[in-house]
Amino acid sequence: MCALLCSRLWSRSVELAHFTAEAGKVYYYRTQLVMSRSVELLELDPLDSDQGKYLITFFPLSVSTPKK
C-alpha cells in the first residue's frame, strides 16, 4: 500500500506499508504528518476495525482507490 501527500504547502511525502490483503476483508490505516524544523515525515499506521470505523465518522471524505 502507498500513501502520497500532495499539498501546495508541503513537498511530496510518500509512505509505504507491506501487507497481504485477503478477499472480502476490510483494512483500516491512518496517515499522520509529523513535522519539525528539519523533518517532514508521513506515517502510515494500521488500525483495528473498531478504531477505523470510529475515525471514519469524523472524516467521511476518506477514500481509497484500488489499483487494477
- How far is 2 from 9, CA to CA, in rounded Å? 20
Tens of pLDDT along the chain (68 residues) come to 666 666 555 555 667 777 888 999 988 888 887 777 776 777 888 899 999 999 888 876 666 677 77
DSSP secondary structure letters along the chain:
-EEEE--SSS--EEEE------TT---EEEEEEEE-SS-EEEEEEEE-HHHHHHHHHH-TT-------
The domains of the chain are located at 1-11+25-63
pLDDT the model gives residue 68: 75
- How far is 50 from 28, CA to CA, in rounded Å? 9
